[in-house]
Amino acid sequence: MNSKNQFVLLGQRRFAPLFWVQFLGAANDNVFKFAFTLLATYSAASWGHVDPNLAGFLIAGLFIAPFMLFSATSGQLADKLEKSWFMRRIKEAEIGVMLIGATGLLLHSAPLVYAAIFLLGLQSTVFGPVKYAYLPQHLDAHELTGGNGLVEMGSFVAILLGTIGGGLLIGGFGERAAAATAAVGLAVALLGRLAAQFVPDSPAADPGLKINWNPLCETWANLKVAHRDAAVFNSIIGISWLWFFGSIFLTSFTPYARSHLGGDESVVTFLLAVFSVGIGVGSLACEKLSRRRVEIGLVPLGSIGMSVFAFDLFLAGVPAPAAAPPAATPLR
């Protein structure tokens, strides 16, 4: 990469199609999840027995569960299969999942929508290892930090745009919001499949690998292998803590805005936007701060910053309700 920054990769076929595939996938996940979170929170009566205070946590749990269960198996598939072919199949599966989700939205069927959210999480779980295994095959060693930073930035910008888009759909289409969300979800899934068509061939790392279809056994086996290398194991713990930390905030914004700030969908969208912009800026800053090297020393600095400002938010406490205006003094 001759340019002084990583953005040159966005104009190259070895990177750009992958970037847009993952960007559109992340955006679609968040449009759908956030739109339904708002529907369940602010229009709970039309969705049956949905608890508006717990809907966001249930949606997050359903989406995250496949990552816990099937990540190790997904890694095996990424090693065994040619990656561009596999990405296309994943994006075709996303179209099918969005058809299920669209049906649930149009019928106001919470179980169908919950099923679609779980399947979107499964689709994202399978895509993750393919994405990260693809990069070292197509980027040079000095490009990996910048390329990973772009992918991470793209993911969180997609979260930002997806949450804003979900909020705009719910706030702007009124009674047609569910139908509009269904249409957007299908359209974005189709665009993702189109982008996947341009991903260059990426040979399988181990085409003869025998897949262990027991996800629990494979996960345990991977953890034992990772534990033998302290650097690898500590990286896994650090990444897991980062996503755990972030998911708590992302999931809490909707009930916090509704119950404590007295805000509507636009307030939730603003909180999510600020949070996502901060992560995107930090991801891009990694290349400059690391001088294009894999620099583990940045991790403690980031962790300290997250902890300090989380404690600052705790000190801020729950906003006090606005004081009532003073009663008018009667005229004498």
| Model confidence pLDDT, tens digit, residues 179-218 | 999 999 999 999 999 999 999 999 998 999 899 899 888 8
Closest by alpha carbon to 142, among 283, 11, 295, 285?
Answer: 295
- pTM of the full structure: 0.77
- In a domain, residue 322? The reply is no
Instruction: Evaluate if residue 112 carries a pLDDT over 90.
Output: yes
- In a domain, residue 332? The reply is no
- In a domain, residue 188? The reply is yes
Instruction: Evaluate if residue 71 carries a pLDDT over 60.
Output: yes
Instruction: Evaluate if residue 330 carries a pLDDT over 60.
Output: no
By residue count, the chain amounts to 332
- In a domain, residue 1? The reply is no
- 1-10, 42-51, 80-89, 137-146: which is most confident: 80-89
Instruction: Evaluate if residue 320 carries a pLDDT over 70.
Output: no
Per the structure, the count of domains in the chain is: 1
Residue-wise pLDDT tens digits, 230-287:
877 877 787 777 777 777 777 777 777 777 777 776 777 787 777 777 776 776 677 6
Residue partners of 174: CB distance under 8 A and separation at least 6: none
pLDDT band per the 50, 70, 90 thresholds, residue 332: very low
- In a domain, residue 324? The reply is no
Apex 179 CA angle, 177 and 185, nearest 5: 100
Q: Are the C-beta atoms of 143 and 137 separated by less than 8 Å?
A: no
Could you tell me the residue range of the domain that residue 259 belongs to? 6-316
Instruction: Evaluate if residue 66 carries a pLDDT over 90.
Output: yes
- In a domain, residue 163? The reply is yes
pLDDT the model gives residue 163: 81
- In a domain, residue 15? The reply is yes
- In a domain, residue 327? The reply is no
3-class SS of residue 119:
helix
- Look up the CATH number of the domain holding residue 15: 1.20.1250.20
